[in-house]
Amino acid sequence: MMKIILVAGARPNFMKIAPLMAAFQARPEITPILVQTGQHYDSVMSDLFFHELGIPEPDVNLGVGSASHAVQTAEIMRAFEPVVLAEKPDAVLVVGDVNSTIACGLVAVKLGVKLIHVEAGLRSFDRTMPEEINRLLTDAISYLLFCSEQSGVDNLRREGVPEEKIHMVGNVMIDTLLKNREKAERPVTVEMGTNRLVGSDPVRILEAYREVMAVNRADPDVLWVGMTAPKQEKWIYKNKDNLNVKFIVAVGAVFDFYAGNVKRSHPWFLKHGLEWLPRLLQEPRRLWRRSFISAPVFFWHVFKQRIKK
């Protein structure tokens, strides 16, 4: 039985780790242990990545978070060492070139554990980049170097790395892409308790999730939504079931008026309910549809509701 610790730090690492976890789980003789360092930690983003990519929950979350390069690297090393001592793995596998890669690599090697680097040999030849330093150092201390492209093999050979350490295996990101190709074309679903957000754009769904969760954390009695019509009404209608709010009010351009960003119409137009007319003349390309298409449709629906009563 072989025990391997896999390290995921930054968000791109999740996509690289996914096919590796799947491959290891299909081999009963291998026990994979997934460690998330928390280098790029966002609870919503992490949950979405793990859910959509089919990655099991991490066995260990170091929860390091953001910091300077030196502090972050040191904190990851400090938090990762007890994990290695407790698990006693046969190998530690790291991917990419982030601080988690070199930090966990150093801990493994200093404890006498073999280090495997996936995506080895890539070079920018610019040592002012922190990632380039991470690549060089990680490759220098690794026992096995798995390259995603021929340039990685060539670079390692030029650097004098023994041939038996170098293995051309292909790009694990492509494995993730091929596996999730059909899923990417389907609507994304994000669970919110008993409710769901569904859409075809994962980024927009994630933004909506964050917006709703931010509102619920604030726990307001009244929510004022100012996105300009009809965006605000659409947003309210789409998210109202997920919001823990008693009253939701759409305020539209009122914020701009009070902030002085938009000059209000002459009082005469306000008095006679014709404020829309000067605004239409000022911004015809933006407002014509609202005035001549959306507004009549809205009044027609209101009229139908009144008739039903």
Q: Are residues 226 and 153 in the same domain?
A: no
Same domain, 164 and 21: yes
CATH of the domain at 50: 3.40.50.2000
Q: Are residues 109 and 158 in the same domain?
A: yes
Summarize pLDDT for 163-208 with one digit per residue, the tens.
999 999 999 988 887 877 776 666 555 554 444 555 555 556 556 7
Question: In this structure, are 159 and 229 located in the same domain?
Answer: no
Q: Is 32 helix (H, G, I), strand (E, B) or coil?
A: strand
**Structure token pair of residue 278:** 């000067």
Please tell me which residue, 125 or 255, carries the higher pLDDT value: 125
Mean pLDDT of 89-118: 97
Model confidence at 78: pLDDT above 80: yes
What's the pLDDT at 146? Answer: 97
What is the count of structural domains for the chain?
Answer: 2
Q: Are residues 165 and 51 in the same domain?
A: yes
Distance CA 30, CA 41 (A): 28
Mean pLDDT of the chain: 83
Domain limit, last residue, from 155, 181, 207: 181
188 occurs within a structural domain? no
Tens-place pLDDT, residues 212-224: 777 877 788 888 7
The answer to whether residue 278 sits within a structural domain is yes
**Do 136 and 66 share a structural domain?**
yes
Does pTM top 0.85 for this prediction? no
Query: Which of 82, 85, 11 lies closest to 50 in space, CA to CA?
Result: 11
Q: What range defines the domain where residue 76 resides?
A: 2-181
Domain annotation covers residue 192: no
